[in-house]
Structure 1
Amino acid sequence: MEELGPTFIKLGQVLSTRPDIVPPEYLGELSKLQSEAPQVPAQTIRSLIAQELGASPEELFKNFSDTPLASASIGQAHAATLHDGTAVVVKVRRPGVVAQVQEDLEILSNLAKQAGRNWAALADFNLEAITTDFAATLRAELDYLQEGSNAERFARNFANDSSIHIPKIFWETTTSRILTIERIYGHKIDDAEILALPAIERNALAELAAKAAVKMIFEDGFFHADPHPGNLFVESTDCIALIDFGMAGEVGDELQAQLSNLLLAFSFNDPDRIARALLELSINRPATDRVHLRQDVLRFMKLYQGRQLGQIEISPLITQLLSILRNHHLQMPGEMAMLTKMIFMTEGMGVRLDPAFSLGTVIKPYAGKIALSRVLPRNLRRSLFQWGIEAADLGANLPEKLRRLLDVLDDGIEVHLRSDELAPMMTRAERIGNRLVAGMIVAAFIRGLGELTAADRERLNTWQNALVAGGVGAVTALGGYLAWTAKAQRR
């Protein structure tokens, strides 16, 4: 994947967070994928800036460093200073990367379609949808205007939180190919200087980052999808800065409600609730054996019996839940791929800072908040209002739906069968028909015999032995025939 370039590196990074698709032995290898790339020559970078912004770096900036701060698979970052003295980072998209990514995405799309059609084992994974979601995310990451918009949205969401610093975007020198953003100073969250801090300070930093992540999911519905240690800087023991907003994900109202239901189900330790929440979370609704699903959930819960949410590692828990989804052919929403990746990264970073860190401890209070929020008057009014709209919409559309149903019934219902499906049905129908005919003949024989007996007992005495012999023979023949046809049917 590293040799194939940026598209496949990103794909591998996403797959490394999909335990519902990828076996465990591959997850660890895929998680090692890095986005480092050879440096683009300084002259090429300068030429791209001049072409895109209409002026040389010397005219646009007070200072511009030719030595890159970082060189990734999609872009290269250079330090610079604005004319007012503000320190910034200028990210320049690598030349030719868009064409390469577009070509790779077409290849992936074709492979997904072919695999989905020709490999029955992949039918439950909806590869085309996964590829489409991945392509949309990667295309957004190629557009620095989108990254700038993401950064400003995060800044609005954390405007009242002084513990999270979101850098400012400078739009005068930003285009789809170039991004100018406030430079962040500090230590990366996994630098030796941070790991050498006292345990209490490292735990506080881990909780700070985790609280920001949980807020993004359950409050904002908009999250940083790539919170690896290189994108988090410690400015002080009570302030963390985020960078690199190209990969962001959204949690819609419906998905947010489904995740909240799952969280509440865990808080109540209720297997039925968990099973229902998993079914609600899946985007497909196959003929699931709910009894079997509940049994799997019960076995899963026994692994965590006697432990509160704050005492549980979240990443293994999610991995096991996704395994249950896979075993029951239930598919996750596309947004869950990035969301799972974000949760895994957040917990992994927290444990590295402090081995005693528990993401569950941070998540647990949200279960109470969610339960309380559902009974608040304003939320009850909103729910009732939404139900009223849906009921009114159903009532308004009901006559039209009924008319369409009647039209279909008037026109008749067509049932299409393939010849290979029809032959066994016809064979079975013939067997059933033969048995019915045999039964009717015997019934007629018995009825005739009864009528003859009632009409003339003297004649019956004359033919008694012959009739008994004939009756026994007929019953024996019928019994043999029924046994033979039943055996043939079982075959």
Structure 2
Amino acid sequence: MPELLLTLIGIAVNTAAVAYVATRLLDVRYTVWRLLVVSVCGYTAIQYGLLPALLEPFRHREPTGDEIPAVLALWILVLVCAPVIAMVLLVVWEAVVPTGAVPPVRTWFKGLRARLRRTRRYLQILAIAARHGLTGLLRGRRQDAQDAELARALRRALDDAGVTFVKLGQILSTRRDLLPPAYIAELAKLQDQAAPLRGTDAARLVEAAAGAPIEEVFARFDPEPVAAASIAQVHTAVLHGGEAVVVKIRRPGAAQTVERDLDIIRRLARRLDRHTEWGRSMDVRGLADGFAEALREEVDFTVEARNLAQVAAAHDRRRAEVRVPRPHADLSDERVLVMERLPGVPLASARLADRGLDGGALAAALLREMFDEIMVDGIFHADPHPGNLMLLDDDRIGLIDYGSVGRLDRDLRTSFEAILLAVDRQDGPALADALVAVSTRPDELDQVAFERALGSFMARHLVPGAAPGIRMFTELFRIIAKHRIVIPPELAAVFRALATLEGCLTALDPGFDLIDTARDVGRRYAERRMRPAAVQELVMEEVADLMPVLRKLPRRFDRLFAAAESGQLTANVRLLARAEDRRVVTAWLHQILLTVLAAASGLMAVMLLGNETGPDLTEELGLYQFFGLSLLLIASVMALRVLADIFTRRGHRD
């Protein structure tokens, strides 16, 4: 037993020494699991393979006094081979399976129950798709874009899949720039409905949010919901002050269900992006990411309460034509939202003719409101679909459900205005400059070709009689993507909101011209910026920005002239001033130097190994050959160091 313990301790010490030496020579950190495997392999190869083979002549006899130095040299050479073998295994392992490609062993069983639930849900979604005949879409099989039966099957599958997929279908039903009419018509039929919570359960959630019994919070609370969906349900109530309010209550477990389904949607989007042409053309991964972000905000009611408060304050400043409900933050939390009840009916079910209203005027007012939110407030409704619009009793439009909003800073609002003006003038170069100014300009951009593509685009869509529509934005984005222009996501959200709003505008007035009205709005903003008061304000802002610089100019000019007068004026040119650039160049030089040294050492090793003259170290090994083996090990270490650095950097880039 003591001998076995000593043997195990010796193996552990040797393995640790091999791992330490290999790691230090490669100058790369690897996981403990990798180091343990390669160290044991290296130690085993030396202990039971290379060492017995080299010392075979002395297995049955003791070395003589003259042979002891040779045996000692061979023994040291063999020991050095152990970390070299471990280094070879590490480099090969890193090349085949980069670090991070496989989760660490300690995480394999972490969250196993959650992964099992996700897998079960994933299989359930696939079973629903197969039941409705949609597996061909997942495999990339071409389908008829106008196939009404396939569109009907997609709608039924999304309905069966539950809340998150129903929400996805509802959003897609507003994207006429992406889907054919047959799909738009079917997806518009999706209804996000669910069995309501019991009145006592709803009241308990409200009491937890308000921190008081429900009788103290409301003069009247209707336990029967006026609407019940899979994420939330809505109740009506009256405060003690007499104000009518709406109470929006999130269903228990809705947040967990949404997160689980969003993971499924992201996986499906990645699969479609990799294996289908239509998935890549529609940018399904970008759609999935945007949908996930919007739905997470919709589930957290504190986000909507904050958005409502900001939008309401902005509306008060400019006396907006459209109303939004005001939240009661003191009665709300992430699960319950109490807000003002707007008196009216859903816009989709309103009968405009019976009330003597002009659909075109309402559509124009709604579009002006959207542009005011974008251009003036800098915060706008990111999902203005028909379900979020109301026709109020005072014939105004009400906007509800601000769970998802977009935000633009002053620079982005100015850039969007420049885009509108360039479209209004049909000026291709100006539109190209506006898009490039707001985006990340690629190094290989062909400015002339980009301007010509935009000019051709406007000649097709913006000439008299062309009847421009929301599809022009789709083509515009294709031109931008072709020339590798990256539009900021905040500005892309503007175009998505306009694409969604277009369905509401044409429902109010089938002949409504979105582009023509947008031109008028752009001119109005341009005229507003040219008013004397606006110009004066702009000048004052620029002067305020320049004042700190102007104060320092006299002192700096004085120093400059004094240095020139005394002959001390010099100019410094600093190459590689950034520490990061110096590190990159140093790393390149180190790799080149190690490569040259490895090649030289390898060449010398080959020459020495082929030299059979000179003194003998043993009966089968000459001294020059021993030196050749040593140089070969040194060359291997240097070459492996370079390869390890290359493979590690590649893994980090991936």
Written as runs of structure 1 = structure 2, the 5 A alignment for 1:53-452 is 53-108=210-265, 132-159=289-316, 160-161=318-319, 163-198=321-356, 201-236=358-393, 238-283=395-440, 285=442, 287-304=444-461, 306-307=463-464, 313-372=468-527, 373=529, 376-383=535-542, 404=577, 408=581, 412=585
Rate the CA distance shift 1:125–1:289 in 2: closer, same or farther, 3 A: farther
Residues in 2 aligned to 1:399 and 1:64: alpha-carbon distance in whole angstroms = 76
- 1:350 offset after TM fit, Å? 2.3
**Deviation sequence 1:142-164 (CA, Å, 0-9, x none):** 22122111111111111142632
CA-CA distance at 1:77 after TM superposition: 0.3
TM-aligned CA deviation for residue 271 of structure 1: 1.3
- Whether the 8 Å CA contact 1:91–1:180 is kept in 2: the answer is yes
Residue 95 of structure 1 deviates from its aligned partner by 1.0
SS of equivalent to 2:193: coil
By how many angstroms is 1:284 displaced?
A: 6.3
State how far apart, in whole Å, the 2-side matches of 1:23 and 1:408 are. Answer: 47
Distance 1:170 1:411 in 2: 55
Secondary structure of the 1:376 match is helix
Q: Structure 1 residues 145 and 407 mapped into 2: Cα distance closer, same or farther (>3 Å)?
A: closer
Partner Cα distance (1:87, 1:409) in 2: 66
Q: Summarize the alignment of residues 464-483 of structure 1 with structure 2, pairs less than 5 Å apart.
A: none
- Where does 1:458-469 land on structure 2 (aligned, <5 Å)? none
Tell me, what secondary structure is at the counterpart of 1:266? helix
Aligned-residue offset at 1:237: 5.8
Distance 2:168 2:414 in 1: 28
Q: Cα distance, 1:359 vs. partner? A: 2.8
- Pair 1:254–1:111, CA change in 2 (3 A): farther
Greater alpha carbon shift after TM alignment, 158-167 vs 87-96:
158-167
Greater displacement, 294-303 / 232-241: 232-241
Comparing 147-156 and 169-178, the one that deviates more? 169-178
In structure 1, list runs of 5 or more residues that go unmatched: 417-491
2:188 aligns with 32
* 3-state DSSP of counterpart to 1:193: coil
Query: Which residue of the partner structure matches residue 48 of structure 1?
Result: 205
Provide the aligned C-alpha RMSD in A: 4.4
Q: Which amino acid aligns with 1:228?
A: H
Per-residue CA deviation, residues 169-207 of structure 1 (Å, 9 max, x unaligned), is 223321111111111111322324225444x63222222
In structure 2, do the counterparts of structure 1 residues 361 and 261 end up closer, same or farther at CA, with 3 Å as the change threshold?
A: same
Q: Give 1:48's aligned amino acid.
A: L
Percent of aligned pairs with the same amino acid: 28
Cα gap change, 1:302/1:126 in structure 2, threshold over 3 Å: closer, same or farther?
Answer: closer
SS at match of 1:285: coil
Structure 1 distance, partners of 2:477, 2:333, is 39
Distance change (3 Å), C-alpha of 1:337 and 1:189: same
In structure 1, the residue corresponding to 2:223 is in which secondary structure? strand
Q: Secondary structure at the match of 1:190?
A: helix
Amino acid at match of 2:312: A
Unaligned runs of 5+ in 2: 1-157, 557-570, 590-654
Q: Which has the larger radius of gyration?
A: 2
Equivalent residues of 2:209, 2:333 under 8 A apart: yes
Question: Quick one: which amino acid aligns to residue 379 of structure 2?
Answer: F
- TM-score relative to the length of structure 1: 0.70
Distance 1:406 1:173 in 2: 53
* Matched residue SS, 1:66: coil
Query: What CA distance in whole angstroms lies between the structure 2 residues aligned with 1:391 and 1:286?
Result: 35
